């Protein structure tokens, strides 16, 4: 109880009650009662009554006083009769009495304190803990008489009972273990404190009815719970936790399964498992040493050379248990395959060696070594040019070394002579699908000999031989064909041409013009069986219909080729459909630079013909030729079909839709040598606009000018080749013929 009652110093205790005679306290009580007595007498008899009253009062206060007063009797009850800690106890002193007056004061004392802990006829109290507690009641009546009554109150407090429930019962390392004390009980009150201990020390690891922890490694652990009730009683219980840790299972895959030198090999341990936890460390070892070459679930490594390598994986789980697995990795290294081609300069002495067709199926070639004759090393690059002293046949050996340090060699006889030139020709500008077309190599030439072989690789992958062959293309689009010509010395030249095959599309998309050209607008339309609500177009082939909207769309393609055009249509009833077409976009113009004569004598002229074809059907094209001439040795002397606009340029020529125009440029070669004549075609469609002008480089032509002593042509033949180019007659030949006719006529007249 939290209040204390002080007992009288001269009182005696008998079953809890204390009484006494007149004392200073009683005198004080009498004085306190005087006003009440005076009031009674005044009402009875006036002044005399007052005097009598005073006399009586004084007499009663004297030792052995004349008037006696009986003391009150203190008594109380309490409920409940068997209280518990924190339970409210009601103390009731209503059973106290005073035979000749009234009780005016109730003071309560808890324990042995000198000061009252409470007052009043009825009070309540609680005790924090169990045990026996002394309660004293002191009552005082109106005359100052007092009485005490004392009881011993026993507060019972049975100890709580601790109970622990563990989930899971057999945890793994790092697994969260849940402890709950919800089954703990306190029969007479409540549990106010839960303390948890992990291990044998006395340091609290947690509190509260619920507690969570985890264990790093496998083993046996003790977890204790101590509960304390509201009366300060405690109980402790311990649980033994067995943490089990199954060993991890290492496993890894190798990709590629059969690697080659310098391949990036990926080792993947993602299939490794730990059934009761997780793997926290992956350590990789390549070879027999104990030095880690990598860590992590995946690991990449390269091997410099072929061979068998042991790769070991060690895994550690979250319970610090390790296991390992080893695999043998076979690094294969097939030998490289050497191959090379040659290309001669116009004079045939400078030969370019090209080993780019050499292969190494599993890696790469890192070294190229070239030898002529008896191991005379002439080069170390994949492609290089070597100048021979004289024409002839030479034994050339190529040695290649791959990245796995494996070498192979190839020896060939190389003919040193002027290189032939392969040329491909066919009728029309595109190959019709499904039709047989003749391909011609008649324009191929060998400057210093004869062509002995013509080998064609056709679009369908077949190979044919001959100066002319036939082929048929079954699919639309661009196709490559290759022609290789070889002369009698073994010197060869290869040219690849890209041809376009087309057919009219039969789709639900229409476009205009029917034959789209690069950089020209194409109008696309869509036909649908239902009314169209929206139409979205995909012109760049990325699958997103975000390039245009509407049933009609206009688009220009920047280059030629097969273009995938798609449209997504949403009908008015909400149905979305898509359709895709392949639209072949062709050239808008074609240009060619040719010359009948490729060998002239110093000081002679050659006629270079510039052909410009307008492949657009409805728009005229203006074009000019800008030749790339050397600073000296070659210059334009005249232009037919246009005018000269500068040292190497002509004026613009208009080419009507679907037509072809030719501009003939006479070039005089004043110095002996080899010339590569080329340039650009500058053109535009419709109105002149510098912004719309386009430039296309035309193929070069090779012209060789020789000195007078090396020229095999007579002046007459030279004039014939240049002049008016009338078959079989030059200007001088015509003049001689006329003179001859005049002489014959004169003779006939004289006869």
Confidence band of 692 (pLDDT split at 50, 70, 90): confident
Q: Which residue would you say has higher pLDDT here, 382 or 492?
A: 382
Closest C-alpha among 208, 225, 226 to residue 165: 225
Q: How many helices (H) and strands (E) would you count in the chain? A: 3, 52
Q: Which residue has the higher pLDDT, 575 or 143?
A: 143
CA distance between the termini of the chain: 179
Distance CA 106, CA 689 (A): 122
Q: String of b and e for 243-263 (b: at least 16 CB within 10 Å)?
A: bebeebebebebeeeebbbbb
CATH for the stretch 24-155: 2.60.40.10
pLDDT (average), residues 428-445: 74
Instruction: Tell me the average pLDDT across 3-14.
Output: 34
Whole-number pLDDT of residue 749: 54
Greater confidence, 529 or 196? 196
Structure tokens at 103: 């009780």
Band of residue 429 on the pLDDT scale cut at 50, 70, 90? low
Smallest Cα–Cα separation from 545: which of 513, 517, 571, 553? 553
Answer whether 213's CB lies under 8 Å from 177's CB.
Answer: yes
Residue 734's alpha-carbon distances to 395, 666, 720, in angstroms, are 53, 21, 10
pLDDT of residue 515: 85
Q: What is the pLDDT of residue 209?
A: 94
pLDDT for position 435:
60
Nearest-angstrom CA–CA distance, 344 and 359: 23
Task: Enumerate the β-bridge partners of residue 425.
Answer: 440
Question: Is the pLDDT assigned to residue 605 strictly greater than 60?
Answer: yes
Nearest to 166 by CA among 198, 193, 189: 198
Percent of the residues in the chain that have a pLDDT greater than 70, as a whole number: 82
Give the whole-angstrom CA distance, residue 40 versus residue 145.
Answer: 21
Instruction: Examine the pLDDT at 733 and tell me if it is beyond 80.
Output: no
pLDDT at 6: 33
Domain ranges of the chain: 24-155, 165-243, 253-331, 341-416, 425-502, 509-585, 589-712, 721-751
Give the residue, 420 or 500, on which the prediction is more confident.
420
Query: What is the DSSP code (8-state) at residue 25?
Result: H
Distance between CA atoms of 650 and 642, rounded to whole angstroms? 6
Average pLDDT over residues 642-661: 92
Let me know: does 599 contact 647? Beta carbons within 8 Å.
no
List, for residues 64-99, the tens digit of each pLDDT value.
444 568 999 999 999 998 899 998 999 999 999 999
566/538 Cα distance (integer angstroms): 5
Confidence of residue 587 (pLDDT cuts 50, 70, 90): confident
The label of the residue with tokens 């912004």 reads 691
Q: Which pLDDT does position 187 carry in this prediction? A: 86
Where do we find the tokens 């294969």? 332
Q: Indicate the pTM of the whole model.
A: 0.35
Q: What is the DSSP string of 86-120?
A: T--EEEE-TT-B-TTS-EEEEEEEETT-SS-SEES
Q: pLDDT category, 710, cuts 50, 70, 90? A: very low
Percent of the chain past pLDDT 90, that is, above it, reads: 51
Q: What pLDDT is attached to residue 431? A: 63
Is the domain 341-416 a CATH 2.60.40.10 member? yes
d(Cα 419, Cα 346) in Å, to the nearest integer? 6
**pLDDT of 544 higher than 90:** no
User: Does 289 have pLDDT greater than 60?
Assistant: yes
Note the pLDDT of residue 316.
96
Give the homologous superfamily in CATH for domain 253-331: Immunoglobulins (2.60.40.10)
- 509-585 CATH: 2.60.40.10
pLDDT of 751 higher than 70? no
Confidence label for 4 from pLDDT (cuts 50, 70 and 90): very low
Q: Any idea which architecture 589-712 has in CATH?
A: Sandwich (2.60)
Strands across the sheet containing 322-331:
294-295, 279-286, 307-317, 322-331
Cα–chain center distance at 290: 35
According to the CATH classification, is domain 425-502 in 2.60.40.10? yes
- C-alpha 412 chain-centroid distance: 51
The DSSP H or E segment spanning 744 is helix 731-750
Out of 15-29, 130-144, 514-528, 579-593, least confident range:
15-29
> What is 165-243's CATH topology?
Immunoglobulin-like (2.60.40)
Q: What angle do CA 618, 620, 624 make, to 5 degrees?
A: 150
Query: Which is more confidently placed, 52 or 350?
Result: 350
pLDDT at residue 182 is higher than 90: yes
Q: Do domains 24-155 and 253-331 have the same CATH topology?
A: yes
Structural contact between residues 666 and 693, judged by C-beta atoms closer than 8 angstroms: no
Q: 49: pLDDT confidence band, cut at 50, 70 and 90?
A: very low
């Amino acid at each position: 109880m939290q209040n204390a009652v002080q007992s009288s110093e001269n009182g005696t205790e008998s079953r809890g009650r204390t009484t006494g005679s007149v004392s200073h306290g009683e005198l004080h009580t009498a004085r306190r009662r005087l006003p009440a007595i005076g009031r009674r007498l005044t009402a009875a008899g006036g002044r005399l009554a007052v005097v009598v009253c005073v006399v009586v009062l004084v007499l009663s206060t004297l030792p052995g006083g004349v008037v006696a007063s009986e003391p009150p009797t203190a008594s109380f009850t309490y409920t409940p009769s068997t209280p518990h800690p924190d339970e409210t106890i009601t103390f009731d002193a209503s059973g106290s009495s005073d035979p000749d007056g009234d009780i005016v004061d109730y003071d309560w004392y808890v324990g042995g304190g000198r000061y009252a802990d409470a007052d009043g006829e009825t009070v309540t109290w609680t005790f924090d803990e169990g045990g026996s507690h002394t309660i004293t009641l002191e009552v005082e009546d109106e005359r100052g008489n007092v009485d005490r009554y004392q009881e011993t109150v026993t507060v019972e407090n049975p100890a709580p009972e601790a109970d622990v429930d563990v989930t899971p019962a057999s945890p793994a390392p790092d697994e969260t273990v849940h402890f709950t004390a919800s089954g703990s009980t306190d029969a007479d009150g409540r549990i106010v404190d839960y303390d948890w201990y992990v291990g044998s020390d006395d340091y609290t690891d947690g509190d509260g009815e619920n507690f969570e922890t985890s264990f790093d490694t496998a083993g046996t652990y003790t977890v204790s719970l101590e509960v304390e009730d509201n009366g300060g009683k405690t109980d402790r219980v311990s649980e033994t936790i067995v943490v089990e840790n199954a060993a991890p299972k290492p496993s890894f895959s190798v990709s590629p399964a059969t690697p080659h030198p310098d391949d990036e090999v990926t080792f993947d341990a993602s299939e490794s498992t730990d059934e009761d936890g997780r793997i926290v460390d992956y350590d990789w070892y390549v070879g027999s040493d104990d030095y880690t070459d990598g860590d992590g679930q995946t690991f990449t490594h390269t091997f410099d050379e072929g061979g068998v390598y042991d790769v070991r994986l060690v895994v550690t789980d979250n319970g610090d248990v390790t296991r390992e697995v080893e695999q043998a990795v076979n690094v294969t290294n097939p030998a490289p395959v050497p191959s090379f081609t040659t290309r001669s300069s116009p004079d045939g002495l400078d030969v370019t060696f090209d080993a780019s067709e050499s292969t190494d199926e599993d890696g790469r070639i890192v070294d190229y070594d070239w030898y002529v004759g008896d191991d005379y090393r002439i080069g170390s690059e994949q492609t290089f040019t070597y100048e021979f002293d004289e024409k002839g046949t030479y034994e050339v050996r190529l040695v290649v070394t791959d990245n796995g340090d494996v070498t192979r060699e190839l020896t060939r006889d190389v003919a040193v002579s002027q290189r032939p030139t392969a040329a491909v020709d066919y009728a029309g500008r595109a190959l019709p699908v499904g039709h047989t077309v003749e391909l011609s190599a008649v324009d191929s030439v060998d400057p210093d000999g004869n062509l002995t072989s013509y080998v064609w690789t056709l679009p369908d992958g077949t190979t044919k031989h001959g100066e002319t062959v036939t082929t048929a293309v079954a699919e639309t689009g661009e196709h490559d064909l290759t022609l290789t010509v070889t002369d009698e010395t073994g010197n060869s030249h290869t040219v690849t041409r890209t041809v376009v095959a087309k057919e009219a599309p039969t789709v639900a998309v229409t476009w205009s013009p029917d034959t789209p050209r690069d950089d020209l607008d194409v109008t696309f339309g869509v036909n649908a069986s239902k009314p169209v609500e929206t139409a979205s177009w995909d012109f760049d082939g990325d699958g997103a219909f975000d390039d245009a909207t509407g049933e009609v769309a206009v688009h220009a393609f920047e280059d030629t080729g097969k273009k995938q055009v798609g449209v997504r249509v949403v009908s008015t009833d909400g149905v979305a459909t898509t359709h895709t077409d392949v639209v072949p976009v062709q050239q808008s113009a074609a240009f060619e630079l040719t010359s009948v004569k490729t060998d002239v004598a110093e000081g002679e002229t050659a006629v270079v013909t510039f052909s410009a074809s307008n492949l657009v059907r409805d728009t005229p094209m203006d074009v000019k030729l800008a030749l790339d001439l050397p600073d000296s040795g070659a210059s334009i002397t005249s232009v037919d079909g246009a005018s000269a606009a500068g040292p190497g340029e002509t004026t613009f020529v208009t080419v009507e839709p679907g037509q072809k125009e030719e501009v003939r440029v006479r070039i005089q070669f004043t110095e002996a040598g080899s010339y590569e004549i080329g340039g650009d075609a500058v053109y535009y469609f419709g109105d002149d606009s510098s912004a719309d002008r386009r430039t296309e480089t035309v193929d070069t032509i090779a012209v060789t000018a020789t000195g007078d002593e090396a020229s095999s042509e007579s002046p007459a033949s030279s004039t014939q080749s240049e002049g008016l180019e009338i078959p079989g007659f030059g200007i001088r030949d015509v003049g001689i013929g006329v003179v001859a006719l005049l002489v014959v006529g004169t003779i006939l007249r004289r006869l």
